Every structure is written in structure tokens, then in C-alpha cells.
């Protein structure tokens, strides 16, 4: 009960801090959105059209936006408001304006295919009308109703895709932000623990009929709860707002809990070692961002050199990152991430032991 | 009935012997002042008494319960008001009290009661950081009262507070002592110690060098009241007249007058003035100095209390 009470006070203090709340809730989700959008979110590309969009209007792969004239369309393409523009007037042949990026090239193929299919349909309709004497509309509906046996195409995939089909930038960004912010905020909010000590509140707790180990356990619980809260905000928020898929729920929950324990342990240790809140915040940011970078939260681990990969797996971030990748990109489950969990729990045990020992020593000397 | 009994308390930090063989007792309803210059060992002594700090030697009994063997039971009997404002600034007054009430095992009704005692009921839902210095001090005291302790330890509870809050705290302490609570009080304000404390212990360099009531300490040190007179007239004649008065122990020249050492200045003063005025000497001014704890403290430690 006393442990819960001390832990709850820690959470309440963090949640009550408005600046801290921005870093806890808004910033991680904003970064998931920004990175997801920048590195290819699962959004439908937009094509601007002057004139009749024709079959493009019915194509689910693109979204059509109408423009009154060509200069307006050209300006929209140049400013990136749309990735491609189609000009269709009765006088001239259709003309396509595309941006020189990946989405622009993708749209060029989609629009060209759609226009070709449409032209073929009209040509076939005119041929039927000429041969049978039927009117044009009847001939076109006859063409539409004609079944064509599809050509069988065998597809073989070689090698392993880095990102599976349908894996969006949001999926990648969310896992990284979860790891970065769970650890980072756990370290920076350890400043509250330093403040509790420097104000003499911890010593005062020890003057109550409460054992030192209970006080230490309560503070540790507070750190873990804050880390868990941060992880849950990113996990649930990104799933609800951006449709991020986290893979096997049990595996994801276990990884989150294990990483929250690691982060809580690190926060407890830092809060016990540092003497001022400024020290804690500074060291927290430095450690949090460095470990995130080495742990593959800024660039995927697959892009690391063999040496850097070894370094990555010396950090808890590397293991958490690889664990989430196994769940979200390789279709793994709880059993797949069992080794990751074991290593993370090992990190947590070491950090908690050191943190508890240091805190107890700091407050009872 | 003795509530606090500590004997042979000793604590060393590396090479520094912070507290050396300190022993004293406090009875039910008694207020005991622990006075000493900065670094004398007051806070270390208090920390050992409250169970926050381990002792190298010695024992603390609270209501007969030994702190070393029944730590939790002994702590239940002690209320602690530390020198620093040991409360969460980002929680409200009521939240702070409820948190510590959980640790003490006190109920919510008790929280409301102590809020009322320290006069914070109306501001109970404001954040502690928004309180004035005096209100924070009162909240600091309130936390120590949550569990109705038998012994209340107050470590400079009025440091830096406004006169109104100071008076309220002192009134609270007096009322608690009147209800039978034993109180251990440290302060830098000598007048507070004189007003509040039944007995005083003077600690210096970790050792308790004197202990007793104010009168006992004054007498033990041989300190006496002094009357300083500024006079016009024959000072030699005046000195011989005054020296003949029964309670006057000594007469010495002092500026344009004389200084008398007497047993009790208040009793002796009418006789002194009468003797002078009937012999043609004009009294320009009279100053009476009674030895107080400040004098005792200075005599014992060679330092002023605020050094």
C-alpha cells in the first residue's frame, strides 16, 4: 500500500507538469506522424486533373482533385500539393505533369495504364459498332460485358524484403518513438526523484513508520509506471490515430513491459546518482539520444555495419528495436521475442539493483 | 513520565565525530530546547532520534520502545518536522497531507483536523508552491502532527517565517505540550527558546555541554543581573553608598556612571534609586541587564547562536 502510494505520487507529479506532459504525449505522437508522413505513410497519392478524369475517378489507387486550368494545375504540381497532373481537353491529346519523386513516378504508371485501358475500350467499342451497326453506347456495354480469360503470371520472390508489403512509415516510426521516448522521458523525469531527495521529502518518509526498502521500492515503482505510461501513450495513440500495427499483442505488451522496466531502472539509477535536477535532465537527454542512435532508433539496424550492429545489441534499445521489428515486420510472436525479453529483463535487473542500492545509500547516509 | 530517553548517542562521518555521547530525556508535556551553533550536531542528533540515521553507538527509547530493535513501532510514536520544507511543491496542501497520512497510517479525518489546527483549511486545495513561506512552514508542521505522536521533533520550524505564522506555530507548540506531547525543539531564535522551552540543552562540537532550566544554567555559570547607571555628581560617594546595599555584590565605574552586579535587579532597583536620590546624585539613565540564554550560550560556546 505504501509502495503504491509513493509510486502514485511520482506519476501524479509528472502528469501535473504541463511542460512534461507535452514531451510525454504530444511530442512522441507528433514525431510518429511527421516521420510516418515523410518516409511514406499509407496515404493515397493525389492526381490533379483539368477536364474529365475518366476512369481515374473510379480507381481506388489514386485520389482525383479537379483544377480549373492548366496554370493552376502546374503550380499545384510544382508546389507538391499533388504528385501529378493530367490535362485532358477535347482539342489536344492528354498531357501528364509529374513530380520527379517516387510518388510522381508511381502516378505516371497508374495514369498511363488507366488512359491506355480507357482508349482500348473506346477503340473496341467503335470496332463493334462499325461491324454490327449497333449504336456506340450499346457497343461499349457489349465490350464491357465481354469476359477475357486472364493471362496467368507466375511470380517468384527472391531474398527477404526489408519491410513487408503494407508496412508504412508510421509502423516504423512508432516503434522507434516508443523506444526513444520511453527511455528518454524516464531519464529526464528522474529529476523529480532528485528534487524529492533535495527537498528532504525522502528523509521525511524515512522518519515515518516506513522501511527504507519500501521507500526505495515506491520510488522504483514510480519510475516504471512513468515509463509504462509513456510506452502505452505511443502504442495506443499511434494505433488509434495512424493505424499502426504492432503485431502479436502479447508479444508487444511483453516487450513494452520489459522495456519499461529497463527504462524505470535507468531512471532510478540516474535519479540516485545525480545531485541536481539540471544534471539529471542534461545527462538524461545525452544518454537517451545516444543510446537511441546506437540502438537503431534513428536508422534501421539493417543499415548498420557489422561492428555497429554489435554495438547496437550491447544496448537495451537494440534488443527492444529488434524485438518490435520481429513482431511487426517478420510476423513473430511471444516465443520469437523470448530472447529479447530475457536480455531486457537482465538489463532491468542490473539497473534496478544498482539504482536501489545507490538510492538507499544516498538517503540513509 | 519520560517520553524520550536517549543515551550515549554517537555518530561519526568519516573523520568527523558529529555527535559524541549525547544523553538526555524529555518528559510528557515538556518542551526541551536543543541549542547549538551551526554544525554543532543538532540535526544529526535529531536524525538519530527520529530513526532517519543509524547510530554508531547509544540508544533511543520513545515511550519505552527501543528505536534499535523496534524501529517501526518507535517511529510511530515520533512526529518529525524537519528544518527544510520537506513537502511536494506540485501537490496541494491536502494531497501532501494525505500522502504522509498513508505513510503514517492516519485517516482522512485526521488530515482535515490538522489542516484546521494550522489554519490552512481554506487553502488546502491550492498547490503548496503557491503558499507563502509561513503557510509552507505551517504545512510542514502539520505533517508532523498527522498521527498524534507522543514525541514531536521540530528542527527550526520558524526559520524565515513572517511574525504571524511564527506566532501561530509557537501557539500550536504550546498547546500541544499542554496536551501532554513531549517536544524536542531546535531554534536559532533565543527568545523562542526562552518563551517555549522548559529545559534547554546546549550542544557544541557534538557534545552536550550543559543542560537545565534557564535559571539553573544562569546560576551554574555564576552569571548575575547588572544595573548600569549614568550619573551626575560625586561618583566615589555614590559608589560607597551603593556598595552598602545588601543585594549589591559589586560596584565598578562604567562610562559616566557605575555598573552594579546584583542578585536580582528587579528587587534591588528601588533601593538603589532611593539611596542615590537622597544623597544629591542625579540619575541620567538606568539600564538593567538580566543574563539570558544568549549570555549562557556565549559563555559556554564562545559563539553567538546565529554563527
Residue-range domains of chain B with CATH: 2-77+149-219 (3.40.50.300), 224-290 (3.30.70.100)
User: Which among B51, B85, B90 has CB closest to A207?
Assistant: B51
What interface predicted TM-score (ipTM) does this complex get?
A: 0.78
Q: Which residue of A has its CA nearest to B50?
A: A207
- Average pLDDT over chain B, rounded to an integer: 87
Q: Is B16 on the interface with A (CB under 8 A)?
A: no
8 Å CB contact of B88 and A204: no
Could you tell me how many residues make up chain B? Answer: 307
CB contact under 8 A, A208 and B75: yes
**Can you tell me the distance from the alpha carbon of A323 to that of A230, in angstroms, rounded to the nearest whole number?**
18
Higher per-residue pLDDT: B235 or B116: B116
Looking at the complex, does the CB of residue A250 fall below 8 Å from at least one CB of chain B? no
What would you report as the CA-atom Rg of chain B, rounded to the nearest whole angstrom? 24
Contacts of A208 in chain B (CB under 8 A): 75, 100, 103-104
Residue B107, chain A, CB below 8 Å: the answer is no
* Domains of chain A from N-terminus onward: 2-40+169-364 (no CATH), 46-145 (3.40.190)
The pTM for the full model equals 0.73
Beta bridge mates, B260: B227, B251
Backbone CA torsion sign across B33, B35, B41, B42 = positive
Judging contacts by C-beta atoms under 8 Å, the chain B residues touching residue A203 are 47, 52, 82, 86
pLDDT at B228 over 80: yes
Nearest to B102 among A5, A206, A211 (CB): A5
Q: Are B139 and B118 in contact (CB under 8 A)?
A: yes
Residue A41 has pLDDT above 60, yes or no: no
Looking at per-residue pLDDT, the higher value among B54 and B159 belongs to B54
Would the CB atoms of B99 and A200 count as touching at under 8 Å? Answer: no
B99 and A CB contact within 8 Å: yes
Q: Above 80 in pLDDT, residue A156?
A: no
Question: Shortest CB distance from A200 goes to which of B54, B84, B100?
Answer: B84
Interface test with A, best of B47, B70, B86, B139 (most A CBs within 10 A): B86
pLDDT tops 60 at residue B214: yes
Residue A5 at interface with chain B, using a CB cutoff of 8 Å: yes
Could B53 and A207 be called an inter-chain contact, meaning their C-beta atoms sit closer than 8 Å?
no
pLDDT of residue B127: 94
Chain A interface, best mutation among B11, B79, B103, by max A CB count within 10 A: B103
- Residues 57..96 of A with a Cβ closer than 8 Å to B: which? none
Q: Which residue from A222, A267, A269, A264 is spatially nearest to A2, judged by alpha carbons?
A: A222
Which tens digit of pLDDT belongs to each residue from A162-190?
A: 666 666 677 777 888 899 999 998 898 88
The answer to whether B17 faces chain A, any CB pair under 8 Å, is: no
* Predicted local distance difference test score (pLDDT) of residue A243: 80
Q: Smallest Cβ distance to A200: which of B72, B76, B82?
A: B82
Q: Is residue B305 over pLDDT 70?
A: no
- Which residues neighbour B32 within 8 Å (Cβ) at sequence distance 6 or greater? B4, B24, B26, B182, B183, B184, B185, B197, B198, B199, B200, B201
Nearest residue on chain B to A364, judged by CA atoms? B53
Classify A162 as helix, strand or coil.
coil
> Do you know the residue count of chain A?
365
Rg over alpha carbons for chain A, rounded to the nearest Å, is 29
What are the grid coordinates assigned to A115, written together? 488512359
User: Which whole number is the average pLDDT over A296-310?
Assistant: 84
* A209–B104 C-beta distance less than 8 A: yes
Report pLDDT digits (tens) over A51-102. Answer: 888 888 888 778 889 999 889 999 988 888 888 899 987 777 888 898 888 7
CA distance A64 to chain B (A): 53
Residue A205 touches partner B, C-beta closer than 8 Å: yes
Of A359 and A162, the one with more pLDDT: A359
Q: What is the pLDDT of residues B43-53, one digit of tens each?
A: 899 999 999 88
Q: What is the pLDDT of residue A265?
A: 93
Q: Which residue of B has its CA nearest to A218?
A: B103
Residues 6+ apart with CB under 8 A from B41: B18, B19, B20, B22, B203, B205, B206, B207
By C-alpha distance, which of A307, A222, A362, A17 is closest to B99?
A222
Interface of B with A in 258-297 (CB under 8 A): none
CA–CA min distance B263, chain A (Å) = 46
Q: Which of B52, B85, B89 lies closest to A203 in CB terms?
A: B52
Residue of B nearest to A212 (CA): B52
| Statement: residue B21 has pLDDT above 70 | yes
Pairwise pLDDT comparison (B215 vs A282), residue with the higher score: A282
Q: Is the pLDDT confidence value at B301 over 90? A: no
A203 and chain B in contact, CB less than 8 A: yes
C-alpha distances (whole Å) from A99 to each of A71, A85, A88, A274 are 15, 9, 18, 53
Tell me the range of A85-99, A107-121, A231-245, B85-99 where mean pLDDT is highest. Answer: B85-99
The residue-averaged pLDDT of A264-283 equals 91
A207·B100 Cβ contact <8 A: no
Share of chain A above pLDDT 90, in %: 28
Report, as an integer, the average pLDDT of A156-165.
66
Per-residue pLDDT for A40 more than 70? no
Is pLDDT of B31 > 90? yes
Dump pLDDT digits (tens) for A184-236. 988 988 899 899 988 989 989 999 999 888 998 999 999 999 999 999 998 89
Give which of A88, A83, A134, A129 is closest to A110, Cα–Cα: A83
Cβ contacts of B99 on chain A, cutoff 8 Å: 5, 9
Cross-chain residue pair A206–B99, CB shorter than 8 Å: no
Q: Residue A332: what pLDDT?
A: 84
Average pLDDT (B84-101) is 93
Amino acid at each position: 500500500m505504501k509502495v503504491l502510494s509513493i509510486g502514485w505520487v511520482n506519476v501524479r507529479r509528472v502528469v501535473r507538469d504541463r511542460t512534461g506532459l507535452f514531451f510525454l504525449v504530444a511530442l512522441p505522437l507528433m514525431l510518429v506522424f511527421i516521420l510516418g508522413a515523410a518516409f511514406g505513410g499509407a496515404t493515397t497519392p493525389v492526381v490533379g486533373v483539368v477536364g474529365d478524369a475518366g476512369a481515374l475517378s473510379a480507381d481506388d489507387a489514386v485520389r482525383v482533385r479537379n483544377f480549373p486550368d492548366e496554370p493552376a494545375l502546374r503550380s499545384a504540381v510544382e508546389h507538391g500539393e499533388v504528385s501529378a497532373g493530367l490535362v485532358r481537353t477535347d482539342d489536344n491529346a492528354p498531357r501528364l505533369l509529374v513530380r520527379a519523386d517516387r510518388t510522381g513516378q508511381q502516378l505516371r504508371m497508374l495514369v498511363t495504364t488507366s488512359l491506355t485501358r480507357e482508349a482500348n475500350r473506346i477503340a473496341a467499342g467503335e470496332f463493334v459498332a462499325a461491324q454490327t451497326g449497333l449504336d456506340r453506347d450499346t457497343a461499349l456495354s457489349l465490350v464491357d460485358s465481354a469476359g477475357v480469360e486472364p493471362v496467368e503470371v507466375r511470380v517468384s520472390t527472391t531474398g527477404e524484403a526489408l519491410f513487408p508489403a503494407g508496412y508504412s512509415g508510421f509502423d516504423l516510426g512508432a516503434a522507434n518513438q516508443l523506444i526513444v521516448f520511453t527511455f528518454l522521458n524516464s531519464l529526464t523525469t528522474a529529476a523529480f526523484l532528485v528534487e524529492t531527495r533535495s527537498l528532504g521529502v525522502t528523509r521525511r518518509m524515512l522518519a515515518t513508520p516506513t522501511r527504507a526498502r519500501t521507500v526505495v521500492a515506491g520510488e522504483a515503482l514510480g519510475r516504471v509506471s512513468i515509463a509504462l505510461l509513456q510506452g502505452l501513450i505511443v502504442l495506443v495513440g499511434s494505433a488509434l490515430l495512424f493505424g499502426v500495427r504492432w503485431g502479436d499483442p502479447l508479444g508487444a505488451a511483453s516487450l513494452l513491459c520489459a522495456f519499461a522496466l529497463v527504462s524505470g531502472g535507468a531512471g532510478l539509477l540516474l535519479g540516485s546518482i545525480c545531485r541536481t535536477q539540471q544534471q539529471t535532465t542534461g545527462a538524461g537527454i545525452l544518454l537517451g539520444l545516444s543510446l537511441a542512435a546506437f540502438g537503431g532508433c534513428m536508422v534501421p539496424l539493417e543499415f548498420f555495419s557489422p561492428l555497429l550492429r554489435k554495438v547496437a545489441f550491447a544496448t537495451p534499445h537494440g534488443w527492444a528495436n529488434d524485438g518490435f521489428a520481429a513482431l511487426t515486420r517478420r510476423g513473430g510472436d511471444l516465443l520469437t521475442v523470448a530472447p529479447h525479453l530475457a536480455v531486457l529483463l537482465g538489463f532491468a535487473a542490473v539497473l534496478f539493483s544498482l539504482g536501489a542500492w545507490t538510492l538507499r545509500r544516498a538517503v540513509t547516509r | 513520565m519520560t517520553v524520550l530517553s536517549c543515551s550515549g548517542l554517537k555518530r561519526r562521518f568519516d573523520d568527523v565525530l558529529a555527535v559524541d555521547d549525547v544523553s538526555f530525556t524529555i518528559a510528557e508535556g515538556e518542551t526541551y530546547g536543543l541549542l547549538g551553533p551551526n554544525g554543532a550536531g543538532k540535526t544529526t542528533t535529531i536524525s538519530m532520534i527520529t530513526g532517519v540515521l543509524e547510530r554508531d553507538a547509544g540508544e533511543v527509547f520513545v515511550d519505552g520502545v527501543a528505536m534499535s530493535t523496534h524501529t517501526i513501532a518507535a517511529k510511530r510514536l515520533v512526529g518529525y518536522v524537519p528544518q527544510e520544507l520537506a513537502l511536494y511543491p506540485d501537490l496541494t496542501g491536502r494531497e501532501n497531507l494525505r500522502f504522509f497520512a498513508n505513510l503514517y497510517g492516519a485517516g482522512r479525518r485526521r488530515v482535515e483536523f490538522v489542516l484546521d489546527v494550522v489554519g490552512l483549511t481554506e487553502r488546502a486545495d491550492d498547490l503548496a508552491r503557491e503558499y507563502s513561506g509561513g503557510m509552507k512552514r505551517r504545512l510542514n508542521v502539520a505533517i508532523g502532527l498527522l498521527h498524534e505522536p507522543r514525541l514531536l521533533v521540530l528542527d527550526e520550524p520558524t526559520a524565515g517565517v513572517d511574525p504571524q505564522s511564527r506566532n501561530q506555530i509557537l501557539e500550536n507548540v504550546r498547546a500541544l505540550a499542554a496536551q501532554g506531547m513531549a517536544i524536542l525543539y531546535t531554534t536559532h531564535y533565543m527568545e523562542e527558546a526562552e518563551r517555549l522551552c522548559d529545559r534547554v540543552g546546549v550542544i557544541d562540537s557534538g557534545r552536550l555541554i550543559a543542560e537545565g532550566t534557564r535559571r539553573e544554567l544562569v546560576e551554574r555559570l555564576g552569571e548575575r543581573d547588572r544595573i548600569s547607571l549614568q550619573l551626575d555628581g560625586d561618583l566615589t560617594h555614590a559608589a560607597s553608598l551603593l556598595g552598602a546595599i545588601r543585594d549589591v555584590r559589586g560596584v565598578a565605574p562604567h562610562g559616566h556612571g557605575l555598573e552594579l552586579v546584583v542578585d536580582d535587579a528587579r528587587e534591588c532597583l528601588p533601593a538603589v534609586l532611593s539611596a542615590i536620590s537622597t544623597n544629591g546624585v542625579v540619575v541620567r539613565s538606568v539600564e538593567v541587564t538580566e543574563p539570558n540564554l544568549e549570555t549562557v550560550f556565549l559563555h559556554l560556546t564562545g559563539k553567538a547562536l546565529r554563527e
